[in-house]
Amino acid sequence: MIHVPAGEGPALWVPEDTVSPDATSSVKATYIVKATAEITGGSLSFVEASVPPGSGPPPHVHADSDEAYYILSGRFEVLDGDRTLVAKPGDFVYIPRNTLHRFKNVGVDAARLLFLFTPAGFERLFFEVGQPARPGEPAPLVGPDDVRKAAEVGPRFFGA
């Protein structure tokens, strides 16, 4: 059994909207990693996220994992293949591997969601491009170094 109490798990500031070097006005999202490949034997990974308004990753594809979102608060515009929908609290979205997708917080406040990846492993991207979140401090802005790092690390996690 694995038990990760509320408020526990590695907390990371993860850059979103890292499409171009001038995408430096977004505040980093906060991801709390609840389960990793190492603790689930590779079965799944589970992450809680707080995403600033207007933020979310660029459209991308996972070649090696399926992804699911469960919306806790706020509203997210979700691209799923060739359609777009708005997901709200209580909504569940499942995205099979090799499907183009993204999400974007379309509200005016930070929005929260849970991620599930199966099999596990994609969460390693968050550890590589993120930085440890410091309690009591606001998340920093996405900067040029974040964009460069995402461009270097991303190809190992995304496929066509």
With respect to residue 156, please indicate whether it lies within any of the assigned structural domains. Answer: no
Q: Is residue 142 part of a domain?
A: yes
- According to DSSP, residue 142 is labeled P
**Closest C-alpha to 76, from 122, 48, 101, 113:** 113
Distance (Å, whole) CA 110 – CA 72 = 11
* Global confidence as pTM: 0.89
Closest to 75 in 3D by CA, of 65, 83, 86: 86
HSE, CB side, 13 Å, CA atoms: give it for residue 140.
Answer: 13
Task: Please provide the average confidence, as pLDDT, over all residues in the chain.
Answer: 90
* The pLDDT of residue 64 is above 80: yes
> What's the pLDDT at 100?
95
pLDDT of 17: 64
What are the structure tokens assigned to 69, written together?
Answer: 């979102």
Structurally, the chain folds into a number of domains equal to 1
Residue percentage of the chain with pLDDT more than 70: 93
Q: Which is nearest to 117 in space by CA: 31, 5, 16?
A: 31
pLDDT-derived band of residue 58, with 50, 70 and 90 as boundaries? confident
- Burial class for 40, CB neighbours closer than 10 Å (0-12, 13-18, 19+): middle
Residues 112, 74: Cα–Cα separation, whole Å: 7
Q: Which two tokens stand for residue 50?
A: 């707080």
**Residue 106 Cα distances to 50, 71, 82, 131, 156, angstroms:** 13, 13, 19, 25, 29
- The CATH number covering residue 90 comes to 2.60.120.10
Mean of pLDDT values over 51-69 = 92
Is residue 60, in this structure, part of any structural domain at all?
yes
Residue 5 is assigned to a structural domain of this protein:
no
The SS3 of residue 19 is coil
- Please give the share of the chain, as a percent, with pLDDT higher than 90: 69
Grade residue 18 by pLDDT with cuts at 50, 70 and 90: very low
Q: Name the residue with tokens 């929908």.
A: 85
**How does residue 156 score in pLDDT terms, banded at 50, 70 and 90?**
confident
Q: Quick check: is 102 in a domain? A: yes
Is residue 19 pLDDT above 70, yes or no?
no
Identity of the amino acid at 26:
S
Is the pLDDT assigned to residue 87 strictly greater than 50?
Answer: yes
Q: Is position 109 within any domain? A: yes
Q: Is residue 3 part of a domain?
A: no
Give per-residue pLDDT as tens, 110-147: 999 999 999 999 999 999 999 999 988 888 888 888 88
Q: Which residue has the higher pLDDT, 135 or 39?
A: 39
- Domain housing 21: 11-150
Which of the residue ranges 67-71, 101-105, 156-160 would you say has the lowest mean pLDDT?
A: 156-160
